[in-house]
Amino acid sequence: MRSPSPAPVAVPAPAPAPSVPKPLAAIGPSMMIKGEIRTREELLVDGEVEGLVESQSVLTVGTNGKVRGNIKAREVAIFGSVRGNVEVSEKVAIRNQGSLIGDIKSAGISIDDGSYFKGSIDIVRPEPKNAKAVQQPAASRPEAQAAKVAS
């Protein structure tokens, strides 16, 4: 007598790796913070902040957000109001109904119709990622020449 052959076993397909959501910090509409804020993650300011705000990621000032102080981030989007200087390595965007009173230092800028901006803009070129830094000989550096003049 023949033994029955084993039934084929269905092997489930591997599940796709779950996408890990980006960490997001939020300052809600009912919050008021005085002081310095530093973060590596994306930050949404929808409340009031008085003081320096630094993010190594994207900083969004929501429609209810009010920042009175300087901002340093990789990228900034303003839907609310900011009174202070903004320095970013990539792009600043002042969206419809957004308001910025202060100076901007950025590689790129976008100002929507219906927004308000008062200040100066300094467009900086980002450093090329694969270009090697060219070293000047010590004698030709400005600080070396200043030292020669002083002596």
Query: Tens digit of pLDDT for each residue in 5-32?
Result: 555 555 555 555 555 566 789 999 999 9
Residue type, 43: L
Between CA 50 and CA 148 the distance in angstroms is 46
Q: What is the Cα–Cα distance from 140 to 49, expressed in whole angstroms?
A: 45
- Largest Cα separation within the chain, whole Å, is 107
Lowest mean pLDDT among 68-82, 114-128, 137-151: 137-151
Q: What's the length of the chain?
A: 151
What span, in angstroms and rounded, lies between the C-alpha atoms of 82 and 86? 9
User: What is the model's pTM?
Assistant: 0.71
Residue 138 pLDDT greater than 80, yes or no: no
- Which pLDDT tens digit goes with each residue over 45-102? 999 999 999 999 999 999 999 999 999 999 999 999 999 999 999 999 999 999 999 9
pLDDT at residue 151 in the model: 47
- pLDDT band of 125, cuts 50, 70, 90: confident
